[in-house]
Amino acid sequence: MAVFEEFENFFKKHQIPFDSKFLIGVSGGLDSMVTLSLAIKCKLSVEVAHVNYQLRGKESENETILVEDYCKKNGIVFHLKMAEINPDENIQIQAREIRYKYFNKIIENQNLDYIITAHHANDNHETFLLNAIRGSGIKGLTGIPEKRGNIIRPILSLFKNQLLHYSSINKVPFNNDSSNQNIKYDRNFLRNEILNPLKDRFSPFENGLSSSINNLNKDFKLLNDLVDKMVTPCVVQKKESFFIYPSNNVPEHCWFHFLQKFGFNFSQINSWFEQDLQPGKYIESNSYKLISDRNCWIITPLNRNLINNSITKLELNKSIESPITLLCSSENAKSPILKDVNIGQFNIEKITFPLIVRKWRNGDKMKPIGMKGTKKISDILIDKKISILEKENIYVVISNNDIIWLVGHCISEKYKVENDKNLILRLTYKP
């Protein structure tokens, strides 16, 4: 199939509307310039993002000029980022983080739908071998996904020689990155020292390796379907969290496949099974946290925007909506004491404003109503059999550096309502 038809069919295969808005990451090399040319030929609505890492002097400058001029010639919006790289740290990891952070910022600001990257079949072969060398399971051997979220790779099925041929026929300009010859980088070593000689020795090598990767993808899908059937009786979903009750009937390796769906890597999962899983033990992927509780494991989404040490101030007769919804008001003391765990009533004369609202912390103590001495918040939560997942979303209200309320659970003996008062403080929590 011709290059353009292969590109066009990608969008049909994945049911991506042609009238979507796309951002293409374009370095100025062969792969990304051909991708941009194909997008223009396909009449896609595209914008271009180019990152100059300033690592190769004049060569980097020439790439930026090439991409910008090509965009101007074709009436395409051009976004440029001049990045700074620390040469003492992993350059490739830094570059990738900078690149995708920049892409996502543009997507949000410009209200675009998809990010297009120029990964092709030979890149996929390199990824396959790298993951095999690193001891990856079958997931790693499936290579680079054609589509993951809003990131799409429409030339992943095309080989480098096809891109070169297309560039020659259609006069697509591009720059050669001299650093691609530096075999100190793993990918360059595999490409230049391993894959190219194999291609010379075995003529059907590239097609055969691509076929193997495609077959592994099919096998992986089948395996996941079987794993899902086996683990389903052990998994309970509550909103966005998953409660797992391990069973001896489910082989350990099944959990490897299940947990990989949440972004946990092979090494993390392996250590999970090797350690003593006491309550509170956890591992994190980029998006999820796996926590060991008393009788189960809990998978819960990470909220990277939430700062655990942050505090919020609450004034009298005011309310807050974040991090929790809490109303603060003064009430007639003759009003009946409400027996509602989400309502706290206090001796207002002992309260100093503003109140402080924050998550509970290890070491926090309070004097629960009806007790003579103080007690650790952690022990209160244990006594109440609060799960680890629930513990992560429990807040305290503080006045005079004292915890007056463990929200939704108990108030302080020191600040309880006394009968001879005219006014009381009422705090209303709305879960």
Alpha helices in 76-195 (DSSP H): 91-110, 121-133, 138-141, 160-170, 186-189
pLDDT(8) > 90? yes
pLDDT of 92-128, one tens digit each? 889 899 999 999 999 999 999 999 999 999 999 999 9
Residue with tokens 């059907």: 204
Residue that wins the pLDDT comparison between 265 and 327: 327
**Mean pLDDT, residues 142-161:** 93
Label residue 190 by pLDDT band (50, 70, 90): confident
CATH of 3-201 given 1.10.3720.10, 3.40.50.300, 3.30.200.20, 3.40.50.620:
3.40.50.620
d(CA 346, CA 339) in angstroms, rounded, equals: 13
State residue 210's pLDDT score.
92
- Cα dist from 7 to 126, 248, 358, whole Å: 21, 47, 52
The pair of three-digit structure tokens given for residue 154, joined into one six-digit string: 């429409």
State residue 88's pLDDT score.
77
Domain coordinates of the chain in residue numbers? 3-201, 230-301, 312-429
**Alpha-carbon torsion, ordered 150, 148, 256, 289, to 10 deg:** -20
Identical fold at 3-201 and 312-429? no
Beta strand pairing call for 288-292 and 355-359: unpaired
pLDDT(389) > 80? no
d(CA 107, CA 231) in angstroms, rounded, equals: 37
State residue 23's pLDDT score.
97
State residue 326's pLDDT score.
93
Q: What values do phi and psi take at 151, rounded to 5?
A: -100, 125
Label residue 304 by pLDDT band (50, 70, 90): very low
Label residue 305 by pLDDT band (50, 70, 90): very low
pLDDT(61) > 70? yes
pLDDT(381) > 80? yes
State residue 1's pLDDT score.
61
Q: What SS3 string covers 102-133?
A: HHHHHHHHHCCCEEECCCCHHHHHHHHHHHHH
Assign 247 to helix, strand or coil.
coil
Phi/psi region, residue 398 (left: phi>0; alpha: psi -120 to 50; beta: rest), is beta
Least confident of 157-161, 241-245, 309-313: 309-313
> Does 354 sit behind a cis peptide bond, omega within 30 degrees of 0 on the bond before it?
yes
Q: Are 101 and 109 in contact (CB under 8 A)?
A: no
**Mean pLDDT, residues 323-338:** 79
**Mean pLDDT, residues 321-330:** 89
Instruction: Report the mean per-residue pLDDT for the chain.
Output: 89
Least confident of 25-34, 157-166, 223-232: 223-232
Domain 312-429 in CATH 3.40.50.300? The answer is no
**Alpha-carbon torsion, ordered 161, 162, 165, 170, to 10 deg:** -140
- Distant-in-sequence, close-in-space partners of 360: CB < 8 Å, separation ≥ 6: 377, 381, 391, 394, 395, 396, 406
State residue 354's pLDDT score.
93
